[in-house]
Amino acid sequence: MKIVIIGGVAGGATAAARLRRLNEEAEIIIFERSGYVSYANCGLPYYIGGEIQDKEELTLQTPESFWRRFKIDVRTYHEVTKINPETKTVSVHNIKTNESFEESYDKLILSPGANPVKPNFSAMDSDKVFTLRTVEDTFRIREFIDRNNPKTAVVIGGGFIGLEMAENLKSRGIDVTILQKNHQLLNVIDQDMASFIHSKFRSEGVNLLFGVNVNDIKLEENKPVIYADCMEPIVADMVIVSIGVVPENSLAKDAGLALGMKGAISVNERMQTSNEDIYAVGDAVEIKHYITNEKAVIALAGPANKQGRIAADNICGIDSKYNGSQGSSVIKLFDMTAASTGINEAQAKMAGINYEKVILSPLSHAGYYPGAKVLTLKVLYEKETLKILGAQGIGYEGVDKRIDVLATAIYAGLTADKIKDLDLAYAPPYSSAKDPVNMAGFIIDNIENGIVKHFYYEDLPELTNRDDVILLDTRTEYEFSRGAAEGFINIPLDDLRDRFDELDKTKPVYVMCQSGLRSYLATRILNQNGFDSYNFAGGYRLYSSIHYDRLASSNSFACGMEK
């Protein structure tokens, strides 16, 4: 059997290695148009920033190492220009020698990846305007910085690559501005959680501008100049364009293979295309979202690796299926970590799901052990079924651990209330006896049993304009004096039972504290003494993050603050 693989990196290289492990006799050829077949795609920004010093560390396998270990024929600088399904051949162009030839196959695997979106800007091809997708892109950016010592950079786009590039450019001493078209960075998480990211980037000296619709980049006096609506042109020494990727589908389209959403290659659960002898994996394919069961395109390394393995299994006669992706992701943002799995609120609303959410701000490990830091955790679940829909975490340590636990719970089909029962490892340096994931489960269990009712930041504008409610802050007088939400009165938790006479039992009481714990205790006291009360999810810590982010962002919107 002869298998040809188009493209390496995560999906193609994984498929090749798995094929060899399953079939020692198969002839396996990888055609890769770049000079690198298997490299650490997610590590590229960190070489630019200097966190990874040796560029050789980016290369996971070379053509020589593939041949020595796996007897796989890897041909870099070879671009497949056409797939011929009728004759089961591919047309190949050797970029170095300029020669072309035909190669036959029994089975074909497409792993072409995705291409960065490149708008038709006037200076898009300038040596001062970059996109980042390949090792070659990385070397160009690093060499430009080393050679020219730029003082200013503009990053267009606030997704994963844009934020990682902003961090690493800043670490090189460059003054960085991020231009983002919508109202937040990192849109895989919700706006309330993104407020912590905005605050972190501002504190690190990164300039944020939202609502920016870039119209053009021109080269003027040998410098890129960015033109956008509602703002003066911005002059920079270099520009990173990071506004997304599109599936590389040209070969599949020309071969008549079925395409799906965003032009991605349509595959079944065995990673087969509409041609039974052609498989496709990675960023170029349309898959099923594990939560919504809707079609999705998710460009992440984890799914690509799994898909490569599954394609290889099926070619070798093993019945292996891809069940979909939850889109689990994590990102380092200076010394902060942001992670998510499943869907967020915006996606839940688009899918028409009736959901509930909990937000909590526990410590990363036992408070009495030195170094504990607050993390913020948000869990979404379906009201009727208690199915966990997604989770998001922001903090400084232990965020990835909690999101991984919740990602596992989602895949295992645990209902939201059952995460309170998870038996998770505990020692003071690592967690608390009640892990943050357990705490989220306790809160959900309390909500579902009617023990507590929550309210959220988005409820405050309406509540502060009502005379028939009481807004109560149960922090200490000192905490309250340092900042409080509009319209709230202060009765510290420990004084509450002695000051019931200051509250009107005919009015519902909406309670806030620093993290949500003392306000929860206050609601239990109030409810058992004839009051109707609600707990503010996430506490004043979340409130202040969102509130001050909106104040800062109101001056950062190119065309005025969005409502």
Q: What is the DSSP string of 268-302?
A: -TTSB-SSTTEEE-GGGEEEEBTTT--EE----HH
* Phi and psi at residue 554, to the nearest 5°: -60, -25
Nearest to 377 by CA among 333, 341, 423: 341
Dihedral sign for Cα atoms in the order 422, 427, 430, 432:
positive
CB half-sphere exposure, 56, CA atoms < 13 A:
0
Q: What is d(CA 212, CA 388) in angstroms, rounded to the nearest whole number?
A: 35
372 contacts 322 by C-beta, under 8 angstroms:
no
Dihedral sign for Cα atoms in the order 158, 163, 169, 173:
positive
- CA–CA distance from 151 to each of 158, 166, 242 (Å)? 20, 13, 20
240 contacts 154 by C-beta, under 8 angstroms:
yes
Selected catalytic residue, list 42, 316, 513, 559: 42
Q: Which amino acid is at 57?
A: E
Q: What is the DSSP string of 107-175?
A: EEEE---EEE-----TTTTSTTEE--SSHHHHHHHHHHHHHH--SEEEEE--SHHHHHHHHHHHHTT-E
Q: What is d(CA 139, CA 160) in angstroms, rounded to the nearest whole number?
A: 19
- CA–CA distance from 169 to each of 133, 157, 239 (Å)? 16, 14, 11
What is the number of residues in the chain? 563
- Bridge-partner residues for 332, per DSSP? 337
42 a catalytic residue:
yes
- Bridge-partner residues for 337, per DSSP? 332, 395
Give the chain's end-to-end CA distance (angstroms, integer): 60
C-beta neighbour count of 521 within 10 angstroms: 17
- Ramachandran bin of 244, using left for φ above 0, alpha for ψ from -120 to 50, beta for the remaining angles: left
Q: What is d(CA 270, CA 203) in angstroms, rounded to the nearest whole number?
A: 47
Residue 21, both tokens: 């492990």
Outline where 487-516 has alpha helix (H): none
Q: What is d(CA 351, CA 190) in angstroms, rounded to the nearest whole number?
A: 15
Which residues are the active-site residues? 42
